[in-house]
Amino acid sequence: MATADDHRTYSIRQLCREFGATARALRFYEDKGLLTPARKGQTRVYDARDRARLKLILRGRRIGFSLLEIQEMLDLYDHDNHNAHQMAVALRRHRAQIEALKQQREDLDAAIETAEEACAVMERKLGEHRPDLLPGADEYATLLKSRLNPDHHVQPFKARA
Amino acid sequence: MATADDHRTYSIRQLCREFGATARALRFYEDKGLLTPARKGQTRVYDARDRARLKLILRGRRIGFSLLEIQEMLDLYDHDNHNAHQMAVALRRHRAQIEALKQQREDLDAAIETAEEACAVMERKLGEHRPDLLPGADEYATLLKSRLNPDHHVQPFKARA
DNA sequence: GCCGATCTTGACGTGCACGTAAAGGGAAGG
DNA sequence: CCTTCCCTTTACGTGCACGTCAAGATCGGC
């Protein structure tokens, strides 16, 4: 694994810009024990591990978890549980967590499906009565413009195995 | 479409028990305009539509949406936009919403994947050093016991934040 | 009629996740 | 030297989603 990039450090502003968070949020996470950046003088210095943790924190927030829940998940991760009993406990907690995540994914899939059905209905109705209002005119224009753009590249449309 | 079931009504307690919510929450949703149950005297009477909306509300909450966001989504649904222009607007909003949902699903999938990898690592380590701590012994015992239990049914999963 | 249970409407409290000044340190630049 | 800018801590404020009393209204059963 790359040793060069692992030694890179980041200022609080850099991480904020990179992930679209606020400095207040990062300090708050630190206050709650989710981040523990080093200090140069009294200024915070974040390393690769802090960055990775922040990434997980923000992902957890987007999914809708509380900071406490995220805290526990992070603890389970980097504790790298050396105590076998604790690891066994962590394993069960993790499995339960996965079940919750999968339940949530079902909710999400259901929401996506109903939303797409609603879209289909609306498009059909619009197509019948007011096809001029269908996204296609300006939509297609912007699409063409983006294709003409030299540094154009499509979103990977990630399909999960 | 069942006409009989569509005329069923529900008390606030019935819906609470069915969905594992509190009466306070339902009244709160009503206060915010997400539910508009009828009144018999001064008692709330929920019909099938209210029930469906509540279902969507709770699903949205589990996914992590705010009541305002849910409000907007519900409005898009049952407005059954007769105005073509509004419908066109709603369609765009809906498409954007779907994109957000899909982004969130990617977050979720990533979280599930990393969690499962962590589980795999822990199971391998436990299997090497302390295979006795692996879930299987008592886990299987409780599983059998629960299957022997006549009124066996799974917990609806907490939902309490 | 009375009791208890269940419903109602306020009104205030709470936990979370920050936002927002206020007040100051430290280094860079003119 | 002063200003500017970014960093810091401390402390109070905020919006959301309810929880938690408090004080009635209503309704069935005894």
pLDDT digits (tens, 9 = 90+) for B41-94: 999 999 999 999 999 999 999 999 999 999 999 988 877 767 888 889 889 989
State the amino acid at position A138 in one-letter form: D
Average pLDDT over residues B6-29: 94
> Is residue A45 a contact partner of residue A66, using CB atoms and an 8 Å limit?
no
Looking up tokens 């886990």 gives B139
Check CB contact under 8 Å for B126 and A90.
no
The reply to whether residue B104 touches residue A63, judged by beta carbons under 8 angstroms, is yes
Q: What pLDDT sits at residue B158? A: 26
Distance from CA of A42 to the nearest CA of B (A): 34
> What pLDDT is recorded for position A104?
95
**Greater confidence, B132 or B154?**
B132
Contact B129/A84 with Cβ under 8 angstroms? yes
Put simply, the answer to whether A98 touches B115 (Cβ < 8 Å) is: yes
Q: State whether the beta carbon of B64 lies below 7 angstroms from any atom of strand D.
A: no
Q: How many Å apart are CA A91 and CA B119, to the nearest integer?
A: 6
- Residue with smallest Cα–C1' gap to D19: B24
What pLDDT was estimated at residue B142?
Answer: 53
CA–C1' A65–C2 (A) = 51
State the fold for domain B1-64.
Multidrug-efflux Transporter Regulator; Chain: A; Domain 2 (1.10.1660)
For residue A60, give both structure tokens: 């957890």
* Separation CA B132–CA B111 (nearest Å): 28
Interface test with B, best of A65, A73, A98, A158 (most B CBs within 10 A): A98
- CA B123/CA A88 separation, integer angstroms: 8
Would you list the domain boundaries of chain B? 1-64, 79-129, 135-161
Return d(Cα A43, Cα A138) in angstroms, integer.
Answer: 49
* Per-residue confidence (pLDDT) for residue A150, from 0 to 100: 41
Quote the pLDDT of residue A137: 52
Work out if B28's Cβ lies within 7 angstroms of strand D: yes
- CA angle, B97 then B100 then B104, to 5°: 140
Q: How far apart, in whole angstroms, are the C-alpha atoms of residue A110 and residue B91?
A: 18
Q: What is the pLDDT of residue A135?
A: 77
CB contact under 8 A, A87 and B119: no
Q: How far apart are CA A71 and CA A57, in angstroms?
A: 8
Question: What pLDDT shows up at residue B113?
Answer: 96
Q: DSSP characters for B69-119?
A: HHHHHHHHHHT---SHHHHHHHHHHHHHHHHHHHHHHHHHHHHHHHHHHHH
Give the mean pLDDT per block of 10 residues along chain A (161 residues).
Answer: 72 96 98 96 96 97 95 84 84 91 96 94 90 70 47 36 27
State the nearest Cα–Cα gap between B21 and chain A, in angstroms.
17
**Nucleic strand D under 7 Å from the C-beta of B126:** no
Distance A63 CA to C26 C1' (A): 39
State whether the beta carbon of B149 lies below 7 angstroms from any atom of strand D.
no
| Protein-covered nucleotides on strand D (Cβ within 7 A) | 6-10, 16-20, 25-27
Which residues does chain B have within 8 Å of residue A94's beta carbon, measured at their own beta carbons?
115, 118-119, 122
Using alpha carbons, select from A43, A122, A54, A161 the residue that is nearest to residue B110. A161
CB pairs under 8 A between A and B: 124
**Contact criterion met (CB below 8 Å) for B90 and B81:** yes
- Quickly give B161 CA vs D12 C1' distance in Å: 26
In this predicted structure, what is the pLDDT of residue A11? 97
Chain A closest-CA separation from residue B26 CA (Å): 20
Question: Are A63 and B123 within 8 A, CB to CB?
Answer: no
**Nearest to residue A61, comparing CAs of A85, A28, A102, A84?**
A28
* Contacts by A43-47, CB closer than 8 A, 24 or more apart: A43/A11, A44/A11, A44/A12, A45/A9, A45/A10, A45/A11, A46/A9, A46/A10, A46/A11, A46/A12, A46/A14, A46/A15, A47/A6, A47/A7, A47/A8, A47/A9, A47/A10
Which residue's CA shows the smallest distance to C1' of C20?
A: A24
Burial class (CB in 10 A: 0-12, 13-18, 19+), B69: middle
Q: End-to-end CA distance of chain A, in Å?
A: 25
